[in-house]
A and B are shown apart, each in its own frame.
Chain A
Amino acid sequence: MAPKAPKAPKAQPKAPDPPEEYPTISAKLQAEYLASRPYQVLKDTKGLSNLSASEKAAYANYRFLETGVWKTWGAAQQKEFLKTVETQKIPTPLPLPRDLGRDNKGREIASYTPEGFAQFRKKERQLSGLRRESARFRERREKARRKQKGRGIEDSEGEIEDERNRRKFIGVLQGKKMGIYEGDPRWDDVVPIPQDDGEGALAAIAYSDEYAEAMGYLRAVMAAKEHSPRVLDLTEHIISMNAAHYTVWLYRASTLFALEYPIDKELSWVNEVALENQKNYQIWHHRQLLIDTLYPTISSDPTAIHALETSERDFMTQMFDQDAKNYHVWSYRQYLVRKLNLFNTTELQSIEVLLRSDVRNNSAWSHRFFVVFSDPAYCTPGSAATAHDPRIPADIADREIGFAKAATFEAPQNQSPWNYIRGVLRKAGRELASLEAFAEEFVKLPSESGEGEDVRSSHALDFLADVWAEKDETAKADTALRLLGDKYDRIRRNYWEWRRGLLDAGVEGKMKGLSVEDVS
């Protein structure tokens, strides 16, 4: 039997005022929880024995309500009970607030303000709506793809655009930008393969999100051996972030060839990348693969060859504007000279332009030697760079010596033309002594009293030391070498002393090896 209803409502404890402000949603929920069991609070604060009779009766009814034991009673008794509860104004006890968990930034949701929590709930509802729509879109596309066996899915651009926007919106609501590929419906059929460096998943956190995502899609398309236009977009994107990743270049090349993509279009794209990545060498191998593919299609068309020659030279000029000694560009240039047979005056003039702007550019000197002394028009095929070639015409040798001489007058201490002169003499089979008078324009040895010394080029002095040794003028050669070791090139003193030693031992003849005779 239920206890009698109390007469006065004064027994009822005061519930907290509803408009009170709570700092967090968890405080609010906790307050609501306590507000829904006022007699429990009353009993906890006053103690059971201190409650009035009516309070005790209300507390007992609250306990019946809380435990649910009243549901086991007979129907009449239940009815009476509920009536009493109503008159006693005992509120229905709320369940204990559940743990709200954390949001995607790791923050405790319990710590939100009540307003913040309301917004969060609203966003969650919006998100789940968008996700449902997005899932329907994917399902529909997947079905279409299966029907078409993976090829050409018909979908209006409008629908794709809608979906793209939907995903952008999802990203905004999540407070976490969606990946470029994750947000692009055209990539839905690809499941990215995440980085696995064999040392745990920790590493993945550190990766730049954009790079990591793109690499995940690249691994997936490579695993599926997919060669499609979108692979060109993907590889371009990765190369823009990391041009040194050579696997990306190789996969791009194989995709280009599979698609029979226009080579000229690719070349102009590669130009931009190369200009932005001076130190990268993958680009140059890629370029060679492109030219190797293009060349057979134009080899019988002189106009097309000439156009390619011009555009390639223009591009290399741009590269040299940034770094005229870029080894990759020069190696590529030699490849191109051989491939397109560019042993011509335009090529030589182009080198002269570079040497005019920097006469110390050893790369340009080296290239000039290659072009002049490998020209199939007059060179012995396969003649080594270090070997005498009897077929070199005298006027060519004269021209090259004249060219190098002029450069030594411009910068006497520049080693490149001095090396070049030795190389030309060797090719043409001429003696060093044939240029003694020229070298002496830079050198005046001191008289016996030590006066009148004037050396404007240590290279000229070195050259003359060889000339004089060649002519058995040992004393002069010795003076030259001593000056080099003591004064003009002290850092290599041991080298010059070694040369002097050869003079003493009378084996200076062997020194001709430096200039004229080669071992190989």
Chain B
Amino acid sequence: MSLVSGPGRAASSALPDEIQLAIEPHVKYIQSLDSRRNELEYWLTEHLRLSGLYWGLTALHLLGRPDALSRDETIEFILSCQNENGGFGAAPGHDAHLLSTLSAVQVLATVDALDELDERGKGDKEGGGKLAVGKYIANLQNRETGTFAGDEWGEEDTRFLYASLNALSLLLLLHLVNVNKAVDYVVSCANFDGGYGVSPGAESHSGQIFACLAALNIAGRIDLVNVDKLGRWLSERQVDGGGLNGRPEKLEDVCYSWWVASSLTMIGKLHWIDGGKLTEFILKCQDTKQGGIADRPGDMVDVFHTHFGIAGLSLLGYPGLEEVDAVYCMPKKVIERVLGPNK
């Protein structure tokens, strides 16, 4: 799966009032991504390949086309990215990283193949199977502060904390880490404006807010959030054009349709923004002919924005889409299958 941008470009001129989601072109666009190996950009984005597969596959499931990518090939590719330490690299031969490990777990869960880990997974020294993956993640927790590093090199980020809790909960292995300490760490990242940043004291950022809220949600501690204050800051992210930005005084971008809207959903305040205007903004960022969604109207499309645009529309209840889970950014059906209906 590639992150290569283009070839399509989102429409930039005025659009007809009745603009629709171009489902078939988006399906074809995602299917075509892996055939773009003759482009250098394909290889320059190799370090994101596994996440790219997660974005593409999830978008296809939300579009109601779960079989558009071969299940067997998907599983083979995922397993070929696993390292002996249990973690997954971004592509075969890459060092393990937490973010690609999360994508691997999410993809396997989506195609109902987590048990393949027990049958064919690596990491025998760590007990093999799902446990080896869980132990790889658990080893990345900073036992003093509760947060997580992205790999053995120690870069810390609240995104990593969320990624860990997300993957461990899907593997039913949350008990391997100190969840209470992780919760304390998230709370220490709350800012004076109600938002959360990458670390304590760092500027509030919609992407980090999503990560922090979703982590608290998985830990069952959403009660620690100052909902009204955060909802106020999040709803201020909508700009006149209908799109959402990630921080005050920044440009709107389709990917924040997910991070802001899912955060508002988690605190029950999605109705505080204008859903109709946001829907219109996302639809304007499509290439309705060749498929794909861009960050803003007129820009080059890519699979990352395609995924988050479609996930945003699903949150907004766009007709014909599968329902997305706001915490896991995966089809709700999948989460219910893995965690039970009352997760």
Contacts and interface: CB of A to CB of B under 8 A. Distances in A.
Interface stretch (B51-59, B127-135, B229-237, B252-260): B229-237
B192 A331 contact: no
A426 B43 contact: no
Contacts of A360: 248-249
Interface string A137-150: 00000000000000
Interface in A480-520: 491-495, 498, 510-511, 513-515, 518-520
Given A416-B249, A492-B272, A242 B44 contact: yes
Given A362-B249, A385-B191, A492-B274, A206 B153 contact: no
Interface string A412-424: 0011100110110
A198 B155 CA distance: 29
A285 interface: yes
Main secondary structure of the interface of B (DSSP, over half): loop
Nearest to A249: B153
Interface stretch (A71-79, A113-121, A364-372): A364-372
Given A197-B92, A367-B203, A285 B274 contact: no
A370 B202 CA distance: 8
A520 B153 contact: no
Interface stretch (B103-111, B220-228, B327-335): B220-228
Contacts of A258: none
A386 B92 contact: no
Nearest to A222: B95
Contact of A520 (B93, B187, B250): B187
B272 A247 contact: no
A325 B247 contact: yes
Interface stretch (B17-25, B34-42, B316-324): B34-42
B240 A330 contact: no
A366 B187 CA distance: 17
B46 interface: yes
A513 B226 CA distance: 8
B204 interface: yes
Given A491-B238, A498-B272, A386 B201 contact: no
A139 to B, nearest CB: 32
B40 A208 contact: yes
Contacts of B201: 334, 370, 374, 385
Interface string A352-394: 0000000011110011011001100000000011100000000
A244 interface: yes
Contacts of B236: 415, 492
Contacts of B44: 211, 241-242, 244-245
Interface string A188-220: 000000001111001101111001100000010
Nearest to A370: B201
A250 B37 contact: no
Contacts of B5: none
A396 interface: no
Given A196-B92, A246-B97, A492-B238, A361 B228 contact: no
A370 to B, nearest CB: 4
A327 B202 CA distance: 9
Given A198-B92, A247-B47, A250-B95, A427 B192 contact: yes
Given A363-B247, A386-B226, A334 B193 contact: no
A289 interface: yes
A370 B188 CA distance: 13
Contacts of A467: none
Contacts, number: 160
Nearest to B36: A206
Interface string A259-272: 00000000000000
Which range contains the number of B residues in contact with the other chain? 35 or more
A326 to B, nearest CB: 11
Nearest to B249: A360
B247 A362 contact: yes
Contacts of B240: 491
A287 to B, nearest CB: 11
Contacts of B235: 492, 495
B4 to A, nearest CB: 12
A256 interface: no
Nearest to A382: B188
B272 A494 contact: yes
A386 B228 CA distance: 14
B265 interface: no
A253 interface: yes
Contact of B192 (A361, A385, A510): A385
Contacts of A498: 272
Contacts of B190: 384-386, 520
A179 to B, nearest CB: 16
A491 B192 contact: no
B274 A491 contact: yes
B47 A327 contact: no
Interface in A407-454: 414-416, 419-420, 422-423, 426-427
Contacts of A493: 274
A324 to B, nearest CB: 11
B229 A415 contact: no
B319 to A, nearest CB: 21
A158 B94 CA distance: 39
Of the listed residues A327, A334, A422, A515, the one surrounded by the most CB atoms of chain B closer than 10 A to its CB is A327
Contacts of A514: 228-229, 232
Nearest to A219: B93
B205 interface: yes
Contacts of A369: 191-192
B93 to A, nearest CB: 7
A483 B91 CA distance: 54
B248 A416 contact: yes
Contacts of B161: none
Interface string B173-188: 0000000000000011
B40 A211 contact: yes
B222 to A, nearest CB: 11
B272 A495 contact: yes
Given A206-B42, A385-B201, A423 B247 contact: no
A415 B97 CA distance: 38
A380 to B, nearest CB: 14
A518 B91 CA distance: 44
Nearest to B207: A327
A17 B340 CA distance: 92
A369 B195 CA distance: 14
Interface of B: 37-40, 42-47, 76-77, 80, 91-95, 97, 151, 153, 155, 187-188, 190-194, 197-205, 223-229, 231-233, 235-236, 238, 240, 242, 247-250, 269, 271-274, 277
11 contacts: A198-B77, A198-B92, A208-B40, A362-B249, A363-B203, A363-B247, A384-B187, A491-B242, A491-B273, A491-B274, A494-B273
